[in-house]
Amino acid sequence: KIDETTWLNEFGGLVSNSGHASPDIMINVNKISKWYGDFQVLTDCTAHVHKGDVTVICGPSGSGKSTLIKTVNGLEAFQQGEILIDGISVGAKATDLPKLRSRVGMVFQHFELFPHLSILENLTLAQIKVLGRSQSEAQKKGLGYLDRVGLSAHAKKYPAELSGGQQQRVAIARALSMDPIAMLFDEPTSALDPEMIQEVLEVMIELANEGMTMMCVTHEMGFARQVANRIIFMDQGHIVENCSREEFFAGARSERAKDFLSKIL
Ligand code: ADP
Ligand code: MG
C-alpha cells in the first residue's frame, strides 16, 4: 500500500477542488452523466465507496452498470461530474491515467488472459512493463497471488488448459499482482458454468474480508448478502437505489428494484 503523498506525487492529477474529497472515501463518483451521441447512458450518478468497503451494483441488462464501472478507472470518458480515486481526479487532464488505472484492478466477465502466454507470464507482464518490476520480483509476486487463489500448480500452463473458473481466478491474481488500491468487477461469474461460480466468489469473499475496497457488478445476491456494505440498483442509467445491505434485504426498496429482484432471487 502506498501512502497519500507518494500517491499524489506519483500520479500527478488534482485533488478535488469541488469539496468532495474525503480521506475515508476510496471511490467517489459524484454526479456523473454520460452520453453516447444523443443517447444519455448515465444520468447524475453518485456513489461513494469507503476504504475497505464493498459496493455491489445490480440492475437489468442495459441499465448502464458496465459503463459506470468503466468510467471509474477511466476506460470510458464522461461529460459531466467528477470521479475521484483516493482523492485523485480521474477526469483531470493532469492525471496520469494509465498509471492511475494500473493501480485499480479490473476483472471483466470474460477473463481476457493472453492466450499465447503462460499463466505466470500473464501474471508478470504488466508488473514488468507498467510498474517496472524485475522479472524475479514480478514472478515472486505473481506466484504468491497464484498460490492465494489456489492455482500455484498451474503456473506453466496456458489459459486454454484451465477451466473458466480457474481462468477467472488467474485474472483476479493478475489484478492483485499490481498491488491495487481498489478492485472493480464487472459480472465476473456470469460467463461461468454454475459449478465454477462458487470458487470465484470464494476468492472475492476472501478479498473483501481482508479489507480490499471493491466495486462489483454482480447479480450474485448470496455474495452481496455476505460481504456488501452497500447495494446500488441501477435502471435506465440512473442509480435508483443506494442503500445498506440491511436496508436492501429488508425489502424497503422501489417497485423497479423489487420487480427485478423477484426475477433473480
Ligand atoms: P449494463 O452493463 O447494465 O448491461 P451497459 O453499460 O453495457 O449496461 O450499457 C448501457 C446502455 O448503453 C445500453 O443501452 C447499451 O446499448 C448502451 N451502450 C453501451 N456501450 C455503448 C457504446 N459504445 N455506444 C453506444 N451505446 C452503448
Ligand atoms: Mg454489463
Which three cell numbers mark 108?
471483466
Residue 1 has pLDDT above 70, yes or no: no
pLDDT digits (tens, 9 = 90+) for 59-93: 999 999 999 999 999 999 999 999 999 999 999 98
Neighbours of 135 (CB within 10 A): 10
Helix, strand, or coil here: 238? Answer: strand
| Whole-structure pTM value | 0.92
Tell me which residues have their CB closer than 6 angstroms to ligand 1.
36, 39, 41, 59, 61-67
Higher per-residue pLDDT: 22 or 149: 149
> By alpha-carbon position, which residue is closest to atom 21 of ligand 1?
36
Q: Which of 80-84, 93-97, 105-109 has the lowest mean pLDDT?
A: 93-97
Instruction: Give me ligand 2 centre to Cα 59, in Å.
Output: 9
How far is ligand 1, taken at its centre, from the CA of residue 214, in Å? 22
Residue nearest to atom 11 of ligand 1 (CA): 62
pLDDT in tens, 9-63: 555 544 544 555 677 999 999 999 999 999 999 999 999 999 999 999 999 999 9
By alpha-carbon position, which residue is closest to atom 14 of ligand 1? 62
With beta carbons less than 8 A apart as the criterion, state whether 165 and 128 touch. Answer: no
Q: Using the atom order of ligand 1, give the atom closest to the CA of residue 37.
A: 25
